[in-house]
Amino acid sequence: MDAIELLRHDHRMIEQLFRDYRSAASDAQRRAVVETLVRELSKHAALEELMVYPLARRVLPDGGGEIQEHLAQHQAVKETLLALDKLSAGDERTDDLMEHLRREIGEHVREEEDELLPRVRAAVDQKELDELGQLLAQAKQAAPTRPHPNAPDQPPALTLVGPVAAAYDRLRNRLQGRPRT
């Protein structure tokens, strides 16, 4: 799977998680969906920031400005994810935060899929997209699983902080009894 297909697959999975949240029958089920969403969006954002956005910045004529907008959107999403991550099952604020996150993600995904990713595909050869897709799939196994809104969002600082954040997240997940993936 090439990098753009992998990102689109992640987007579809996230959209399904929002549907799962709406159809969950209990607070415990909704909380499990929230935790999965926090984990998957945190990994997805970290990998975009580390591997996809630097490529876009390099190959697109106006990549720098466009990527800054995407990073600002990521920052807002991370702050919402952090707020959600701090809540417990049944907290009355969860529904509003989830709806806010759904709107943030919907806008971000539309911009990526309608504008950024087609331009990246046109600027990069298929071999490079395939290689990046393999790297993304491998890196996903070691990516941070929690939001870190105060961490750097661009290499090289992200390259140094990311693995430490990921190890810390996995330890916290284990101590809190969250599922491993």
Residues of the chain whose pLDDT is less than 70? 149-181
What pLDDT is attached to residue 153? Answer: 60
How many angstroms separate the CA atoms of 31 and 94, rounded? 9
Model pTM score = 0.84
Distance (Å, whole) CA 140 – CA 64: 24
CA 79, chain centre distance (Å):
12
Q: What is the pLDDT of residue 111?
A: 95
In the prediction, which pLDDT does 148 show? 72
Spell out the residues 6+ positions from residue 40 whose beta carbon is closer than 8 angstroms to its own: 10, 13, 14, 17
- Within 45-133, strands assigned E span none
In the block, tokens 């709406």 appear at 22
Distance, CA of 13 to CA of 95 (rounded, Å): 19
- Rounded Cα–Cα distance for residues 179 and 181 (Å): 6
Find all residues with CB under 8 Å of 30, minimum gap 6, and list them: 21, 24, 89, 94
Query: What distance lies between CA 133 and its chain's CA centroid?
Result: 15
Residue 181: what pLDDT?
58
Predicted pLDDT of residue 168 = 45
